[in-house]
Structure 1
Amino acid sequence: MSSLSSPVPVILCGRRAEIGKPVAELLVPEFEVIHFITTNEAALSDIPRLLKGEKPQSPDDSGVGTQNYSQVPRAVIFGRGYSLTEVEQFRQASEGCNANSVAWITGDPDRKPGPNEPRPGPGYAQFAAGQVKEKLTAWREEGATHDGIILW
C-alpha cells in the first residue's frame, strides 16, 4: 500500500474554469487541485510531466489550480466535457510516468444525467464535485492501489 499525503494532490481537467474553480474548492480539504487543464493539447503535454514530478509546459493562469508542484499528483479528474476515448489517450501517453498508482476519474459515458440531476450551470459544480469526491474517497480508503479509470 502506498502512502498518501493529505491533502492528496490531483490534476483537474475541465472545459470551463467557471465550473472547475468551484469543483476544486469543494474537493478541499481532502484533495488539492494543483493544476487545471482545459485543452487536449495541454493534457497530452502536461499530465505526463506532472506525473513525473516536473512542472507543466502550459501555465495554469485560470486561477483554479494551486500550482503547488512540490508533490506528485495521485489522481487526474475529468469533467464530462472529455470523452472516455480522450481520457484513455491521455492515460496511455502517461504510462510509466508515476511509480505510484494513479486514479483516472471521469464521467461515465453510459450514464446520462437523470431528470433531477443538474445540467452544466448553477448547481452542476456541486453535483460533479460530490460525485468525484465520493469516488476519490473510496479509492483512497481502499488503499489507493487501483491504477486505472474510475467512472463517476
Structure 2
Amino acid sequence: MSAPIPVIVCGAMKGMANLVRTKMLPEYDVIYAGYNIAQSKHEVPQIISGNPPPPVSLHTQLGSNDFTVPPRAIITGGGYSEEMFQELYQDCIKACGSKENIPVPFFRASREITTRLAAEGNGPVPSSSEYPAAITERLKNKLKEAGIGPGIEGHGTGSNGEISFF
C-alpha cells in the first residue's frame, strides 16, 4: 500500500476535527487538523508557503504536524462561513505571493449540499452522530474525483488554488 496522502483539515470544533482526521485514515494523513479558526488562518498560510511554524508552537496537536512532505489539499469544514473561508484563502494567496503560486487546491464542505441531502433522506444532519462519517466519505469521494487519492499519480485534475465543494 502506498503512503497516506498528506492533507490539511480546518474546522471549527476540536471533536469534529479529530473525528474527521481518524476517518480519513488510512488513505489520507491529516498533517494539520486545525479547530481554532483564528489560529488556522494564521498557521495554514505559513505551512503552504513552505515556512511552517515549529510544530510545538501550533494550536493543534491532533494531526502529525509533519510538514516534510507538502500537503496535497486544504479542506475546510461546515463551520467555516463564506467570510471566514475567504479570509483564510486570501491569507494563503498573500503568503504564497499570488493565487497561481498556491501549491494546493481547496475543498469546502457545502452547507447547501448537506441540507439538500438530509432533506432528501440521503444524508444525516450535521448535529447527528452519523455526520462525521458521512461528510468524510463525501470528502474522500471529492478528493478522488479531483485526482487526489490512493493509486492516482500526479497532482490531480484540479488547479492549485481552485476551490471545490463537497
TM category (shorter chain) comes to 0.7 to 0.9
Please show how residues 129-148 of structure 1 align to structure 2 within 5 Å: 129-140=136-147, 143-147=156-160, 148=162
> Is there any run of 5+ residues in structure 1 with no aligned partner, and where?
none
**Residue in structure 2 matched with residue 105 of structure 1 by the alignment:** 107
* Structure with greater Cα Rg: 2
Choose from 76, 79, 85 the match for 1:78: 76
Which structure carries more helix by proportion?
Answer: 2
Higher alpha-carbon deviation: 72-81 or 52-61: 52-61
Alpha carbons 1:105, 1:149 under 8 Å: kept: yes
Alpha carbons 1:84, 1:106 under 8 Å: kept: no
Query: Aligned residue pairs: how many?
Result: 147
Percent identity reads: 24
Query: Equivalents in 2 of 1:144, 1:64: separation in Å?
Result: 29
Report SS of the residue matched to 1:77.
strand
**Residue in structure 1 matched with residue 163 of structure 2 by the alignment:** 149
Alpha carbons 1:35, 1:60 under 8 Å: kept: no
> Is there any run of 5+ residues in structure 2 with no aligned partner, and where?
none
TM-score by length of 2: 0.75
The one-character-per-residue Cα deviations of 1:89-126 (angstroms, maximum 9, x if unpaired) are 21111116295641211122433252332223311110
Choose from 121, 127, 131 the match for 2:134: 127
TM-score by length of 1: 0.81
Query: Equivalents in 1 of 2:102, 2:77: separation in Å?
Result: 23
